[in-house]
Amino acid sequence: MKYRDQKGNYYEEESSQDRLLKWMYSHITGRFLLKGLVNPIVSKLGGILLNTKLSTGLISPFIKKNQIRMNEYEKKKYRSYNDFFTRKIRPEMRPICQEKTCFISPSDGKLSVYKISDNLTFQVKYTWYNLRSLVRNSKLATFYAGGTCVIIRLTVDDYHRYCYVDHGWKGKNCKIPGILHTVNPVANDFMPIFKENAREYTTIFTENFGKVTQIEVGALLVGKIRNYHEDKFVKKGQEKGYFEFGGSTIILLLEKEKVEIFPELFQWTEEGYETIVHMGETIGKAK
């Protein structure tokens, strides 16, 4: 994997998980095993197990392996692994830029950004996606022709709660069922994961950035996408929801001529880098 941060530092790494996933998606034996893992029943059973008291034994090894700085999080006694995984961070650790023109990241993660073509397609890791198939709503998809698609991939070591990018009125949550593949880029070399995975989206009529559609995408062994609100007025930085265990993805659809994402983020995406971002961090500005 190739990463940058907004200070210009860059990193390259390939974990044992990356190598395992590449084998599973590219070899016949691995794909046979994968067939069972992506079954919704398996994810459901995994979610049940991770909500039990027995699963607390997984917490300490996970903290050590992923070098989680627990002093950044609210202190509490965890009842299960999922209780730990959905832990809340101390507010001062994720300051929200409240300037009206600042467009923020709604979550921690690894960011990529793409232009949406006039025929409603964009390309991620050699795979073409069509907005109509992504949201299954032709009218909504057409609205974003010529706009921008921001993709933030959360890995298991990231903070898994997310917020609203601006003040505004949000619509209802639309759920699209599916099976659950990992969101590791390795998987996207072999199948269109954002069209396969279960997802949920809502449209927010923001005060400063036009109509923003936010899509939460579940992934392998994610128990649930938990969104709090239906139709209501929301505030910038207000917690929108959280993911239970697993890597996940947030996709933002931005209409044309409303938000200017920093140009270096486009450049780094083209060079094959994901940019490490944190919830509340500025990634663009209002036009």
| From 43, 80, 108, 158, the catalytic residue | 108
Is-contact 215 231, C-beta < 8 A?
A: no
| From 43, 105, 112, 248, the catalytic residue | 248
15 is annotated as an active-site residue:
no
248 is annotated as an active-site residue:
yes
Give residues with Cβ within 8 angstroms of 178, minimum separation 6.
Answer: 195, 196, 197, 198, 199, 218
The amino acid sitting at 246 is G
CA dist 161 and 158 (Å) reads 9
Picking from 64, 105, 59, 67, the residue whose alpha carbon sits closest to that of residue 86 is: 59
Question: What distance separates the 2 farthest-apart alpha carbons in the chain?
Answer: 52
CA dist 77 and 271 (Å) reads 43
Strand partners, 201: 174, 215
| Catalytic machinery residues | 108, 248
